[in-house]
Amino acid sequence: MSQFKYSEQQLEKAFQARVDAEQKIEPKDWMPEAYRKNLIRQMSQHAHSEVIGMQPEGNWISRAPTLRRKMVLLAKVQDEGGHALYLYSATETLGVTRDELIEALHDGRAKYASIFNYPSLSWADIGAIGWLVDGAAIVNQITLQRTSYGPYARAMVRICKEESFHQRQGYESLMVLANGSPEQKAMAQDALNRWWWPALMMFGPHDGESAHSAQSMKWKIKRKSNDELRQAFIDQTMPQIEFLGLTVPDPEMKWNEQRGSYDHGEIDWDEFQRVINGDGPCNRDRIEHHKKAHAEGAWVRDALRAYESKKRQRLAA
C-alpha cells in the first residue's frame, strides 16, 4: 500500500513538472483523476454553453431586418454548433461519452454559461450578444489557447478566430443602431442596459469564492483568474461603449488613473447564484428546448449508428 501511494505521488510530481514546463498533456498521458474530472467539468460546460447559446439567437433568424443580417446570423449560429462539436469531441478524449455529457446537462449535474438564461427581446439584443457575450468569451478563450490539455488548447485556436468574427458583427450591428434614429439608439441602449451585468457575471465569482479556480490555475487549465479576466473585458469594452455614444449602466464606473484601469460597481451576486441554480428568466425553457431537440434528432443518431455498423460488417466480410 505504501509503495502504491509513493508511486502515485511520484506520478503526480512528474505530471506537475510537465505542466510547469508548459508541456501539453495529451489523452494517453497519465494524469491525476481530479485533473481529468476538472477538465470534463470545464470543457463540457463550455460545449453546453455553445449549444444552449444558439437558442436566443436562433429565435431571431426569421425576424432579421435584412437578408444580409439573416445570412450573418445564420453563419454565426452555425459556427456555435461547430464549436460545440469541437469541444464535445475534445472532452470525449478524456474517456467520457457524448451521451453521458448530454445526460448530465439534462438532469442538472452539468452547467452552462448563466448568460444564456436571459431572453433576447429585441433585434438589438442580437448585436449585444455578439458584442458583449462573445467579447467576454474571447477574453477568456484567448488564454485557453495555452491551456495545459492539448486537445482543448488546439480546439480553442479555431474557435477564437470565429468568435472574433462574432464580436465584430455584433458591434457593427449595434453601431448601425446607435447611429440611426432616436428609437434605434434607444433600442441599442436598452440592450446594453440588460446585457452588461450578465456579461460581467460570465467570468464567475470573485477569485476567493470560486470552488475550482485555484486548482485550475495550478494545473494551468485556466491561465488567468476570474477577476483578472473580468477587468480586462471592462477595460477593452468601455472605450467601445463611449465610441457608440451609449452609457454604461454602472454609475460607479470611472477611470482610475493610478491603476490605469476602470473602477466599477459590485455585481449582484444574489442574482448570479439564482440564475446558475436554475431560477433565471429562461433556465427551464432552455433545457426543455434542448431535450425536445435532442429527442427529435434521435432518428439521425440511430441512422448513423446503423450505417457505421453495416460499414464495419462489409469491411469484415
pLDDT in tens, 253-296: 999 999 999 999 999 999 999 999 999 999 999 999 999 999 99
pLDDT value of residue 5: 58
| Count of other CB atoms within 10 angstroms of residue 293 | 12
pLDDT above 70 (res 143): yes
Query: Is residue 168 in a domain?
Result: yes
What pLDDT score does 2 carry? 46
Residue 209 has pLDDT above 60, yes or no: yes
Give the sign of the dihedral formed by CA 275, CA 239, CA 166, CA 69: positive
User: Looking at the predicted structure, is the pLDDT value of residue 86 above 60?
Assistant: yes
Domain holding 235: CATH number? 1.20.1260.10
Domain presence at residue 15: no
pLDDT at position 317: 86
| pLDDT score of 73 | 96
Q: How confident is the model at residue 198 (pLDDT cuts 50, 70, 90)?
A: very high
Q: Which amino acid is at 164?
A: S
Domain annotation covers residue 268 = yes
Residue 9 lies in a domain: no
pLDDT of residue 1: 44
pLDDT at 3 (0 to 100): 45
pLDDT recorded at residue 72 = 95
Q: How far apart are CA 305 and CA 317, in angstroms?
A: 18
pLDDT over 70 (residue 205): yes
Question: Is 243 within a domain?
Answer: yes
All cell numbers assigned to 7: 508511486
- pTM score of the predicted model: 0.92
62: pLDDT confidence band, cut at 50, 70 and 90? very high
Instruction: Please check whether residue 45 lies inside any domain of the structure.
Output: yes
- Is residue 115 classed as helix, strand or coil in its secondary structure? helix
pLDDT in tens, 218-250: 999 999 999 999 999 999 999 999 999 999 999
Answer yes or no: is 223 within a domain. yes
Give the pLDDT band (50/70/90) at residue 99. very high
Question: Residue 64: is its pLDDT beyond 60?
Answer: yes
- Report the amino acid identity of residue 89: S
Residue 213 pLDDT: 80
Residue 266 within any structural domain of the chain: yes
Q: Which three cell numbers stand for residue 11?
A: 506520478
Q: Give the integer Cα–Cα distance in Å for 311 and 317.
A: 10
Give me the percent of the chain exceeding a pLDDT of 90: 92
| Domain count within the chain | 1
Q: What is the pLDDT of residue 4?
A: 52
Could you list the residue range(s) of the whole structural domain that residue 220 is in?
32-316
Residue pair 49/113 in contact by the 8 Å Cβ criterion: yes
Provide the grid cell at 280. Answer: 433565471
Q: Is the pLDDT of residue 203 over 50?
A: yes
Mean residue pLDDT across the chain: 94
Cβ neighbours of 101 (radius 10 Å): 21
